[in-house]
Amino acid sequence: MKPIGVFDSGVGGLSVLAALRAELPRERFVYFSDAAYAPYGERGDAYVIERSRKVTEQLIAGHGIKALVVACNTATTAAIHLLRAEHPLLPIIGLEPALKPAVATSRTGHISVMATRGTLASAKYAALRDSFAGSAAVRAVPCDGLVKAIEGFDTEAIATLCARYMAEAGPFGKAPGEVDTVVLGCTHYPLVKSELARHAPPALRFIDTGAPVAQQTRRVLAAAGRLSDGEGGLTLQSSGGQAALEAAAARWLQVSPQGTTAASA
């Protein structure tokens, strides 16, 4: 049974992997953390493209993946069009900040997007944002350092940065001009949603892309006749610290992988 490849610059894509495993419990997954070359979100496009190509090639050569989920907003915006052109027979599913559902659910018409600087500076994000011009006021909040803090299990830095960026994302509320919906535009951020929520009223909505991506992956595999009816499984790989990835999976997925191997992509 061929697996589905999933990759991110670090552990953030585990939030997407959790949604994928819930939606597709009979599938095998290979999750690749490119931790040795992280973070992507504060690098240029050329760097992200090079890493995305190498990781994709390793997942194809090493595991014969039947589909690829680019579980990283930055890699999606910078590289997915090239990956699809270079691997036309491989279904490739990417991410984008969940502005469409945010606009659809917001009652005040004021939305904040928390994301990496790389995502917010991309042409793809600009086009997405502009497509909703007139429908909602969208505030961009670049969250420098938050990915690094999450990767390092730095509880103190996570708390400090979440407080800082939530202050920038507000004011929150239901009154005209107040933000009632926050888009978590980086896969790392759902992992600390409870900390972010400490700085917001209970009614504030947080929206991420995990469930929609999982649903799209199911649709793509079904259309290609590639859905599995076997036993699910999980393999973890990292170009950096394997132990750190396994600890993150245990912490945020509450699972132990069936196979873990170091990688050098």
* Residue 110 assigned to a binding site: no
- 74 appears as a binding residue in the annotation: yes
8 among annotated binding-site residues? yes
199 labelled ligand-binding? no
Q: CA–CA separation, 180 vs 116, rounded Å? A: 21
Query: With the C-alpha atoms ordered 5, 47, 245, 120, is the resulting torsion angle positive or negative?
Result: negative
- List alpha helices for the chain, DSSP H: 14-23, 45-63, 73-86, 99-105, 117-120, 123-130, 146-151, 155-169, 193-197, 210-223, 242-252
Q: Which of 70, 186, 191, 253 is catalytic?
A: 186
- Is-catalytic flag, 186? yes
Residues 188/210, Cβ–Cβ less than 8 Å: no
Q: 76 a known binding residue?
A: no
CA 106 to CA 174: how far, in whole Å?
10
Q: Which residues contact 90 (CB under 8 A, 6 or more apart)?
A: 60, 65, 66, 67, 68
Strands 259-262 and 233-238: parallel
Q: How far apart are CA 173 and CA 179, in angstroms?
A: 6
Which member of 72, 99, 192, 196 is catalytic?
A: 72
Q: Is 41 labelled as part of a ligand binding site? A: yes
Catalytic residues, by residue number, are 72, 186
Residues annotated within the binding site are 8-9, 40-41, 73-74, 187-188
Residue ranges at the known binding site for substrate? 8-9, 40-41, 73-74, 187-188
